[in-house]
Amino acid sequence: MAHTKSALKDIKKSRQNREVNRQVEGSMKTAMKKFIARTDAAGAEDAYKKAMKLVDKAAHKGVIHKNAASRRKGQLDRKLAALKGAKK
């Protein structure tokens, strides 16, 4: 257990940050799953844009690493390209 007042404040702040990070990462993962579950190219466009925005936001806030964000965006790009290719 922390002994100083500043250490107690650090514990409180890290718990708050953890909760915010969990929410950001959770919403990002949910958006990605909703996009991946889409089978029609028209509806997938909106889900794609939302997922990309949330991935960028998570990387900008430092919740995920920038390389991890790039990898996830690449996965979304490939899925969208496959949906568009299947449509034709």
For 48, counting Cβ atoms within 10 Å of its Cβ (0-12 exposed, 13-18 middle, 19+ buried), the class is buried
**In-domain check, residue 67:** yes
Give how many domains the chain has, as a whole number: 1
Does the residue 61 lie in any domain? yes
Question: What mean pLDDT do residues 9-20 have?
Answer: 96
Domain containing 73 equals 25-87
What average pLDDT does range 68-78 have in this prediction? 97
Residue 32 lies in a domain: yes
* Residue 63 domain flag: yes
Q: How far apart are CA 68 and CA 35, in angstroms?
A: 18
Predicted pLDDT of residue 88 = 54
User: According to the model, what pLDDT value does residue 42 have?
Assistant: 84
Local confidence band at 85 (pLDDT 50, 70, 90 cut-offs):
confident
Residue 45: Cβ-neighbour burial (10 angstroms; 0-12, 13-18, 19+): middle
In a domain, 19, yes or no: no
Work out the percent of the chain whose per-residue pLDDT is above 90: 84
* pLDDT top residue among 88 and 35: 35
Residue 20 lies in a domain: no
